[in-house]
Structures are given as structure tokens and as C-alpha cells.
Amino acid sequence: MAVAKVNSYRDRLVIDDQADLTPSAIRARARRGARRFGKPALIMIDYLQMMKCPGTENRANEISEISRSLKALAKEFDCPVVALSQLNRELERRPNKRPINADLRDSGALEQDADLILFVYRDEVYNADTEHKGIAELILGKHRNGSLGTVRTAFIPQHTRFENLSASTWQGARA
């Protein structure tokens, strides 16, 4: 079923797996795609730290420029730009491993520019004996136009998929 869904997007789904792209290269490719296929519904970057921005003196400034450029890209095409990001390793040293905005690698500009920051936390990654196996927490770290919070979902690892929790599973998630 998933393959059929992806195939239905065949004429509109563009996957570009070129590494080390600059913001201007992504903008140029998006413009080319828009001329060929129409306005994009979504632009996804996997992942932000793989991008390059020549002419910046350090990595923090580079990420800042990339972040601003992606925000401008979203405005230009009037579509969401989803940028995946690495987290700092500092969270590995904390007792509570749930990510927070400050855990975003080179986070200052990302926190400032993002309209929405969403983290995925799965307790079983850090605690093998957890009673919350198969449950993922979607943590809304920033929502410019809404409230923050956490949503618990079922995580189906063999399909890398999130689903609504059943009532019985939900009760276990609250414990």
C-alpha cells in the first residue's frame, strides 16, 4: 500500500540525494522543480548539518546562515521546509534523555528561525527494561502559533511508523 501511495506521487515527488548542497543550490533546484512540476507542497532537508555555506568563518555562523536561507525558501515558495537536525551529545549525559531545544546542534539560529521544533523520544532506546516499549513521544519544543506539549504515539519499528495509541496502550503510557 505504501509503495502505491509513493507511486501516485511519481510525477511530483523529486528526491535529490546530492550531498553538501548550499542554500543557493537548494533554492535553484527548488525553482527548477517548480517550473517543471509546479509549486512544491513540501521541501525536506535530510539533514541540515550536511549542508554547506561557503564564506562563513565558523560552523555556528554557517548553520545560522543556512537556517535563515531555509526560512527564506519557505517564504518564497509558501510551503513548509522540514529540516532534520542532529542533536548534541550532551543529552546522553543527562538522566532525562528527552530532547529540548538547546540540544539541537548549533541551536541558536535554529531555535530563532524555526516556526516549529519537533523531537521524537523513545524510552526503550535508553532503557532496555522500560514498560513503555513501542511508545514514542512526539515533543513539541517550539510552536510559534500554538501551544507546546507532548503526544504519545505507538511506534511501529518494522515500518518506522507512528500510529494512534489504543486505549489500553495509552493507559500504560501514562504510568
**Per-residue pLDDT tens digits for 95-142:** 999 999 999 877 678 888 999 999 999 999 999 999 999 999 999 999
Q: How far is CA 89 from CA 25, 99, 103, 111, in A?
A: 30, 10, 8, 17
Of 114, 136, 152, which residue sits at a domain end? 114
Would 47 be classed as within a structural domain?
A: yes
Same domain, 133 and 147: yes
Question: Of the candidates 166, 112, 121, which has an alpha carbon nearest to the alpha carbon of residue 144?
Answer: 112
Counted domains in the chain: 2
The grid coordinates listed for 2 are 505504501
pTM of the model: 0.82
Same domain, 130 and 166: yes
| pLDDT above 70 for 172 | no
Of 89, 114, 139, which residue sits at a domain end? 114
Q: Which residues contact 128 (CB under 8 A, 6 or more apart)?
A: none
Would 5 be classed as within a structural domain?
A: no
Same domain, 102 and 37: yes
Same domain, 92 and 172: no
Same domain, 124 and 175: yes
Domain with 62, as residue range(s), is 11-114
Of 114, 136, 153, which residue sits at a domain end? 114
Summarize pLDDT for 36-55 with one digit per residue, the tens: 988 998 999 998 888 988 88
Same domain, 110 and 140: no
